[in-house]
Amino acid sequence: MAKADANVNSEREELAGMPDPSHVGRRYVAPGQAVAAASVAAYARAVSGGDEVFSPGSVPPTFAAVYCLGPALAALFADPELGIDLAGLIHVEQSFAWLVPVHPGDVVDASAEVSSVESKRGMTFVTVELAARDGGGETVCTGRSLLLLRGGR
């Protein structure tokens, strides 16, 4: 095989697994995320240093990265059809909105939905909408992640 042909084939294989607009609307769930008191306490100590900034029985807002972001994106990353290569991934942007307080002992269901896929300048940008719902189905937290993948269509 000529070198030029090998490069074309390599590029096709690399792009074959890249997300594209046909993936918009895919939804991933990570049910049963326990907000464990010990994990909350360890997290609070880690983010606050020596300062007492969280009262007992409360959950730091950024703990949403543990019960929502991490599990929901793990489900998304596990989809071979979506084809996100973690070696080429940059987590560009993250936002959260907290609608209802979460407490130690709560169990939430996390979800992620691909809301847009755009290719620009040889890079693919994937926007993911996140949500966490309590046992009663009430949304406790929403979020948005922007992921940048090397390579594009």
Pairing of strands 107-120, 139-150: unpaired
DSSP notation for 58-120:
---GGGHIIIIIHHHHHHHHT-TTT---GGGEEEEEEEEEE-S---TT-EEEEEEEEEEEEEE
Structural domains in the chain, CATH included, are 3-150 (3.10.129.10)
pTM of the model: 0.83
Q: Please report, in tens digits, the pLDDT of each residue of the chain (153 residues total).
A: 444 444 433 443 444 578 999 999 999 999 999 999 999 988 888 887 766 666 777 898 999 999 999 999 999 999 999 989 898 899 999 999 999 999 999 999 999 999 999 999 889 999 999 999 999 999 999 999 999 998 655
Residue environment code for 24-58, b if the CB has 16+ CB neighbours within 10 A, otherwise e: eebebebeebebbeeebeebbeeeeeeeeebeeee
The helix or strand, by DSSP H or E, that contains position 39, with its residue range, turns out to be helix 37-48
Pairing of strands 89-98, 27-34: unpaired
Angle at CA of residue 23, ends 146 and 108, nearest 5°: 60
Return phi, psi of residue 26, to 5°: -65, 135
